[in-house]
Structure 1
């Protein structure tokens, strides 16, 4: 039986634009205290157009437990009005959503009815236990389909924008088990550098510090330092629960420490010169520390590689990447290896822990993409799915790759039957790409391959979108599908409702010699766009489309993006046109 008591208090402070005070259930114990306090506030804005309360006539407050809606109420917007949320059950995975709607007046009743959704804010997911301590959650409100500054409640001056302690490029961002975001490493460019990274001589400094972004407070906070400075390294999250081998055949559960993060390779400094590291570190989010894994050394140093979690036992595939030549040029790797961390289920198997498998790739490649998928048709008797990692594009020492290969969990690296990206248009030109993104949308069974550069100078962008069908193991043929704008070294974030957010990156450089294909350095972009599903009202079919969304507040080349549990996407790091680092955090609030 569900138990109820005073559940929420959306309490006002000097900074809260909307003070909503809640009571609780009808049979509340006398003298009971508020269990959850929500601080609702407007994010830091630069203009009236960004004000989340501009044009709002009605507010909606909804409470969900997982995907179940357990409370839903509209009320007239008034900054001094209190409201009551009754009969909210105790439990885990609770989340509060607050929306701002424009309103129209019903001509007969005179009542306000909702017209258009304008703004939204969501709390982090939380647990409310009977007898537990009271908690305070913040709900930042922002306009929909726009970017806003990461913000926290300040003093009487209002909400303040929050920022990284330092700007970063070639860094990693990883969502932890508790919703926080780990940001590690990165590099600084030499004075006057423009465009993307293409040579180790372009960098002036490598970073070993790390930070945490806490969406519950909106703040960026320091954490432990990496053992070694790293840029273009890889970070892979290991879920807390892994499946352990059990001789009896019955499933068992091993509890790994709370969601460790494996940090592998990356540009590091050796004797003052940048070289690709062959070491691995592990971040413990509970202790807030990094520790080098002494028992595991990579077969070769690698940066710009991919790191892919293969299964729940903790096996991680490290593929490709680059080392650094004497002149700073990048030498692509043609090998891959599988790593397993001591103490996880894989170390209990016959293979043991550490580097447990190595293999040659079909082709050397760096700055490629890797997606863990199950290949093959669904629902066909006798057809087994093949567990695999699909590697697409990237670059070798001499060229940008237009090829695809797969790593089979039982069989190593194999060439895909369709070795090249598909051809579109009368010229039937191959489409090489590097520093692109490839986002797997599981319900669609498509990997959407977007953008990237077509040349080693990272100055000519690719505008076509290619979709790899994991069921047919081939790229989709047909009508050309283009992004709104060509971009490389951008970020792609898988959002709710199978949408993919594309943001920032570098635009194609100015043409210097069209015949020779020479372009100037790429210019950082502030634009963003969305690949999304739409249902055609005429034929009832669902189509995949793309369109522009609100622009970033700052142009960002090389930024990283990540989906958060409040259904927004955070944007971290990157550089502007003068290689000035962007320290301010931003987030996108979708429709």
Structure 2
């Protein structure tokens, strides 16, 4: 047993170390002030074991207890891989996955959102016949079971689902029928109290592969996507045309344009209330390195630096220090990426960070309660994978004797 003197010394040492260790709001490898900080631990990926099933085009949703629900997607295989109804739970405490109850319907390219009461709503997707579905179901973490709810008014592949401030869910766009037909301009609202969907306003153009981000004032920013009509001059069908959904009026309104049309970009709400739109596929379906930030107060997009690598179908996750982790993706030609990079909103720059062990796209990134980011599944360019990885952000140690000495 430690003596009282040694115990007090250990306690004071722990307090001192805790006071010195901070996650600075900067990218890995860059100290916030070069003369008062030093890097203690660089950002890094580590293994998170393997899922019970290889899967891509799945959903991954953080539950209230800190675990992650992974559901659906398409399994391993080069030709006609199986569409999955299976689901599993990742536990950060055990750094492992375990199976939970399966959905009633197999589906890939669905949308999922956690409701206020902790349950998870999964909507739409594509079934084993490569046809869009309008079904929806809800996972209850307390029972570990799924229950079906009322269907949507439209079958939707690749829609977005956004939790509104009033607890209802806005479902926007997607494709009906199959992967090549009929982009939707329609939107609908799910009411958890009644378990029903009701139609709401229409966008100016149908789209899929877009983003939808709830702004601080409760409105929803919809950006980019693909209209399926090959209506652009370059023949790509990739869209610019951002719109804003107003839940008070139930209508969509056009807003300022981005610097480029973008299909499969990422959208991340930053700590300062702006939205970072990064990458995707632009004219001629070329992968983009460019990024824009949206300022809701002035309703404008500002061109905001370029990623180290042009990429689309990547993931983006906000880190506790305010940086954004960009991971994986696809060049649109034949290469999946293992590389990752960080966006620093203070400098407006992207910088490289550690790479994943596995190249992947069509994967998911979920920020955990401890600030780490869980990367699940995806395709390595040939087939779906079961592997998962954890990203831990960089940690800096400040030197108190030089605090405040920033040029």
Q: Normalization by structure 2: what TM-score? A: 0.71
Distance 2:230 2:253 in 1: 31
Give the one of 366, 390, 394 matched to 2:276: 390
By how many angstroms is 1:373 displaced?
1.5
Does residue 484 of the first structure (1) align with residue 357 of the second (2)?
yes
**Which residue matches 1:337?**
243
Shift of 1:360: 2.2
Counterparts of residues 35-50 of structure 1 (less than 5 Å):
none
The aligned residue for residue 471 of structure 1 is 346
Tell me which residue corresponds to 1:306.
211
Question: Judging changes above 3 Å, is the alpha-carbon distance between structure 1 residues 540 and 185 closer, same or farther for their aligned structure 2 residues?
Answer: same
Counterpart position of 2:41: none
Q: Does 1:209 align with 2:135?
A: yes
More strand by share: 1
Please give the residue correspondences for 1:12-411 in structure 2 after superposition, counting only pairs within 5 Å.
Answer: 144-150=94-100, 162-188=101-127, 204-240=130-166, 259-269=167-177, 274-293=181-200, 296-311=201-216, 313-325=217-229, 331-342=237-248, 347=249, 353-375=250-272, 387-396=273-282, 397-411=284-298
Task: Say whether the 8 Å CA contact 1:405–1:413 is kept in structure 2.
Answer: no
- The SS at the match of 2:98 is strand
Shift of residue 323, structure 1, vs aligned partner: 1.0
| Greater shift in the superposed pair: 526-535 or 225-234 | 526-535
- Which segments of structure 1 move beyond 4 Å, counting only runs of 4 or more? 140-143, 533-536
- 1:268–1:275: 8 Å Cα contact kept in structure 2? yes
Q: Is the 8 A contact 1:319 1:336 kept in 2?
A: yes
Q: CA deviation at 1:187?
A: 0.9
Q: Which structure has the larger Rg over C-alpha atoms?
A: 1
CA distance in 1 between partners of 2:145 and 2:93 (Å): 20
Shift of 1:415: 3.8
Superposition pairs of residues 429-444 of structure 1, within 5 angstroms: 431-441=309-319, 443-444=320-321
1:475 is paired with a residue of what secondary structure?
Answer: strand
1:330 and 1:357 mapped to 2: Cα distance? Answer: 21
Alpha-carbon contact 1:438-1:448 (below 8 Å) kept = yes
**In structure 1, C-alpha distance between the alignment counterparts of 2:199 and 2:141, rounded to whole Å:** 28
Q: Say if 1:177 and 1:239, in contact at 8 Å, map to a contact too.
A: no
Aligned in 2, Cα 1:269/1:143: closer, same or farther, shift over 3 Å? same
Measure, in 2, the Cα distance between the counterparts of 1:143 and 1:476: 30
Residue 330 of structure 1, CA deviation:
5.7
CA distance in 1, matches of 2:95, 2:380: 22
Q: SS at 2:292's partner residue?
A: strand
1:269 CA drift (Å): 3.4
Q: Give the 3 Å change call, closer, same or farther, for CA 453–413 of structure 1 in structure 2.
A: farther
RMSD (CA atoms): 2.9
CA change 1:421–1:534 in 2 (3 A) is: closer
Cα separation, partners in 2 of 1:326 and 1:361, compared to 1, 3 Å: closer
Q: Is the 8 A contact 2:230 2:236 kept in 1?
A: no
Indicate the SS of the match to 1:506: coil
1:483 Cα deviation (Å)?
Answer: 1.3
What is the deviation of 1:355? 1.7
Output the CA distance in 2 between the equivalents of 1:262 and 1:499. Answer: 28
Q: Deviations over 1:469-524 (max 9, x none)?
A: 112221136xx52112111010100002210000100003xxxxxxxxxxxxx210
TM-score, normalised by the number of residues in structure 1: 0.49
| Deviation (angstroms), 1:354 | 1.2
- Is the Cα contact below 8 Å between 2:180 and 2:228 reproduced in 1? no
Contact 2:290/2:304 (CA < 8 Å) preserved in 1? no
Structure ranking higher on relative contact order (CA contacts 8 Å, 6+ apart): 2
CA contact (8 A) 1:362 1:413 kept: no
> Does structure 1 conserve the Cα–Cα contact (< 8 Å) formed by 2:271 and 2:322?
no
Aligned to 1:249: none
